[in-house]
Structure 1
């Protein structure tokens, strides 16, 4: 790296006047010249800053997170061109990359979500400096702009052109090693977001796994050497995305591979601060999903590992205990924050924080249900957890109510953070209580997109599954309302698959869902039939209007 000049060297010549009599043994202090308008990071480190906007070159070249310029607004210096649709920029690519920065980096009030996170300064830093990241950002901006009026389904050509350009630049960076591992991993993550916007979840998972492989190789090359701040920040975000994918995969067939990076356990003081508590919940969910995926492979092939496999039983017990501990910690934190945020000085960001804590509670509760049922292939096992399903709906309602305080923005933020959509969807799929199922469906229709989850699509799928399961069900007594126990085991749907939405002949969006039942039903064939092959299942295709 080229050395930065220092034009203010301290003088070592004798001073005239009264200063000449000063003792010569006094040590001279070397003063490093600092710019008065330098970035926060350089000022903290007491080094000269080149004041390049929006992020200084010295931080970029050293792999540090540039703290920006505290005397200027981050949004005004870096994101101003994206504050209005169609704002002029140097080029269409620049405009779309700024749009991506606005959607990914800011909340509904135009404030940075988390300046030290991936979608804060890291995204701004790399998208302004590295071609493959800038191209990926432009692809996201094009896909997002198309999604505003549903053009991504009707006319995807424009977004596709930017996507192909970003893929080419990413491949070039991988081949000639002109871009660092952190840039390549971030570009892959952004392209995963593009695929999620386009509702091609499997492609999104492929990009996510590509980012994991890039980062894994980067850590292997370090071999114990300290990694850069940016690498560690991207790794933390990958864990969070993995939690989002795991939450989505709980209700999908087949399961998807999960991140293999080891995540340290949380300490005892994690519930002192909201962000620490949320990160602890993420780590707990990550470990639980890894266990669920490994145990789910035995679901239809190993009749009774609950009694015969002590290692799996111990893993199940440990995972449930950890989830319950974090769930209790979040409950105490929510109570404390609710008291603080009810004051007149509370802000919208306080509401967002509390809403995310309630959302984490819904994620943990649904995970506990799956952990407790993972050893049993029978869907009737979920009937034992009605109180937990009620808790999910209650916490989801609290989270949604707090988020409604946020002033809507012209740009709808794209979130890759786990929210309440997947837990509500799990209630619809696994809770056979008609009233609670209907309430969860109504709430899910009101939710926007959370990563791969589209609230309206999932609500429509869940409503159709409920109709299929209850169509042949008869109440226990004449005239009584239908109850969960009235839906027999052989009527309960065990899984489904769904391709991306399409347009029907009338130009309306539809999805073709394939529902699955064991063949023969488990109550007849479990322990005798082979459910590991496609012939062991009945498939029924349903076209659902969105």
Structure 2
């Protein structure tokens, strides 16, 4: 019947109707050719009908203009989106992804991409479908391998074949999208790319994960506009709550954790920013709203740091005063951080349903404190002594982390008492508490504080995105060893503290490390496979780069638990 003209009576007149495969949902139901205008087709608007849009790719809303397009609700799959028929095994992995992977690896700040978008779109897009199955397989394999000692009924090599098979199929189904590269195809490519990054991070393939992130950022350039005269800020002007907003925010989070990991050394920096009001409401209405504000402030700090680094490089590190423009920018960031803290404090009791135990609030607090230290020190890049004036803030990060650790210990006991909870992975794709503790261990030269931070990291053996607890704890100990040498030889008693006890006044009243022994830049080279040793590059006080080997021997290593 395709293309056949049908004449059907409609009151006193007849309409010519054709069978169509594209167009808005309203025109499809009416079997009329759609002009596919966005956000609402002209045929619907001209007849006074409500245009139901184009399914998962948005649009619709009758006479609503583009500038007032409403956020897309994807809590349920549109009726016309076809369900990809899968085998019993594939549907089993899809269920695992929906109810376990999405709930656990997303971390404390659940992105809408996990919550709302990936599952329904996987039912319509083969590339996303196969990427979802591949990620689900990796997650499930590591849970059973770690929690049940390999009691998964299927052989491990069979599961690995399943993972690689669907990984390959996802890449194959992306090829037509790479050829088309219209907005719809770019959305599919970005979602598959995000799933690939997640899969590689959980697998410990850090080099490949970073390649996928950079590929995603290259595609994102088509969604945003490079601003500033340096062209290192990618600004997105998108509809809040839309599919584009959801995808961009997911990559903003990936970029944030990558920039935090690379913050210890000079490098070209690309900052992602979403155009939105800088002054939020008096309280954060949700956890993610608070993360958005802190994430935006980190982006501004990264950009300011990058500007000052490049200005120093052009002057070959000659002594120069900080330009007034950069000082003004620093002052503005500090003021916004202060305002953010007021709102965050006021919001502590406004989101109890999302954070009943206060863990997320503690995490938001330590990231805010870390951002404040970075903002205060970003224009004094060659003066490590500047961190000495921030000891109380480092102690604050440590105190909040101890509180989270105590809660986590209690939850761990509950996990073993309730068997079904053992299915849940502790490794996540998002950032967690490791990054602030690692920053404290590197930049706070009070031995008791930095050692406490390292020992807290060592209580866990899992990953938070690119942050592997075993690797970063070894790096932090190596940095301490290089910096301190035998300086604290007579203070070995400081190691006998309880993890549950924050530092006291006498613990931080010790001589400061000499300036010349302090490390200014640290670069960790990650690979795609576990190793007993890996290289660490570091630089002290305008000196040359040196290399040290970091050993992970004796460390419990697990790919995802």
Q: Find the counterpart in structure 1 of residue 367 from structure 2.
A: 363
Q: 1:350 aligns to what SS in structure 2? A: coil
Whether the 8 Å contact between 1:106 and 1:113 is mirrored in structure 2 is no
Whether the 8 Å contact between 2:333 and 2:375 is mirrored in structure 1 is yes
Match of 1:491 among 517, 520, 524: 517
Whether the 8 Å contact between 1:379 and 1:489 is mirrored in structure 2 is yes
Q: Find the counterpart in structure 2 of residue 90 from structure 1.
A: 87
Q: Distance in 2 between matches of 1:465 and 1:68?
A: 50
Match of 1:124 among 92, 110, 119: 119
1:315-336, Cα deviation, whole Å (9 max, x unpaired) = 22222222232123212322x4
Match of 1:444 among 451, 457, 465: 457
Q: Distance in 2 between matches of 1:513 and 1:484?
A: 31
1:152-210, Cα deviation, whole Å (9 max, x unpaired) = xx989644454344333333421245962221111111111122223333432332232
Q: Find the counterpart in structure 2 of residue 264 from structure 1.
A: 276
Q: 1:517 aligns to what SS in structure 2? A: strand
Change (3 A) 1:262 1:502: closer
Q: 1:513 aligns to what SS in structure 2? A: strand
Q: Structure 1, unaligned stretches of length 5 or more?
A: 3-8, 13-32, 34-45, 50-56, 70-77, 79-88, 342-346, 504-508
Change (3 A) 1:90 1:485: same
Whether the 8 Å contact between 1:271 and 1:330 is mirrored in structure 2 is yes
Cα distance, 1:422 vs. partner? 0.1
Whether the 8 Å contact between 1:212 and 1:259 is mirrored in structure 2 is no
Question: Is 1:428 matched with 2:441?
Answer: yes
Q: Find the counterpart in structure 2 of residue 74 from structure 1.
A: none
Q: Find the counterpart in structure 2 of residue 99 from structure 1.
A: 96
- Once the two structures are superposed, the pairs formed by residues 66-465 of structure 1 within 5 Å of their partners are 66-68=74-76, 90=87, 92-107=89-104, 117-148=112-143, 149=145, 158=161, 159-177=163-181, 180-218=185-223, 229-251=242-264, 253=265, 255=267, 257-269=269-281, 271-275=283-287, 276-298=289-311, 301-305=316-320, 307-334=321-348, 336-337=349-350, 341=352, 349-351=354-356, 354-376=358-380, 377-402=382-407, 405=411, 408-412=421-425, 415-447=428-460, 448-465=462-479
Q: Distance in 1 between matches of 2:118 and 2:275?
A: 23
Q: 2:259 aligns to what SS in structure 1? A: helix
1:355-405, Cα deviation, whole Å (9 max, x unpaired) = 223212211211222222223313232222100101111222334445555
Question: Is 1:510 matched with 2:532?
Answer: yes
Change (3 A) 1:485 1:93: farther
Cα distance, 1:93 vs. partner? 4.6
- Once the two structures are superposed, the pairs formed by residues 11-90 of structure 1 within 5 Å of their partners are 59-60=55-56, 62=58, 64-68=72-76, 90=87
Change (3 A) 1:360 1:258: farther
Whether the 8 Å contact between 1:104 and 1:413 is mirrored in structure 2 is no
Q: 2:546 aligns to what SS in structure 1? A: strand
How many pairs were matched up?
Answer: 459
Q: 2:283 aligns to what SS in structure 1? A: helix
Whether the 8 Å contact between 1:473 and 1:486 is mirrored in structure 2 is no
Cα distance, 1:487 vs. partner? 2.5
Q: Which has the higher contact order (CA 8 A, sep 6+)?
A: 2
Q: 1:370 aligns to what SS in structure 2? A: helix
The RMSD of aligned alpha carbons is 4.7
Q: Find the counterpart in structure 2 of residue 75 from structure 1.
A: none
Q: Distance in 1 between matches of 2:291 and 2:282?
A: 9
Cα distance, 1:433 vs. partner? 1.2
Cα distance, 1:262 vs. partner? 4.2
Question: Is 1:539 matched with 2:547?
Answer: yes
Q: Distance in 1 between matches of 2:107 and 2:366?
A: 26
Q: 1:351 aligns to what SS in structure 2? A: coil
Change (3 A) 1:310 1:135: same
Q: Distance in 2 between matches of 1:225 and 1:367?
A: 26
Whether the 8 Å contact between 1:299 and 1:374 is mirrored in structure 2 is no
Cα distance, 1:440 vs. partner? 1.1
Whether the 8 Å contact between 1:101 and 1:137 is mirrored in structure 2 is no
Q: Find the counterpart in structure 2 of residue 500 from structure 1.
A: 527
Q: Distance in 2 between matches of 1:365 and 1:112?
A: 18
Q: Distance in 2 between matches of 1:473 and 1:97?
A: 56
Q: Distance in 1 between matches of 2:165 and 2:509?
A: 52
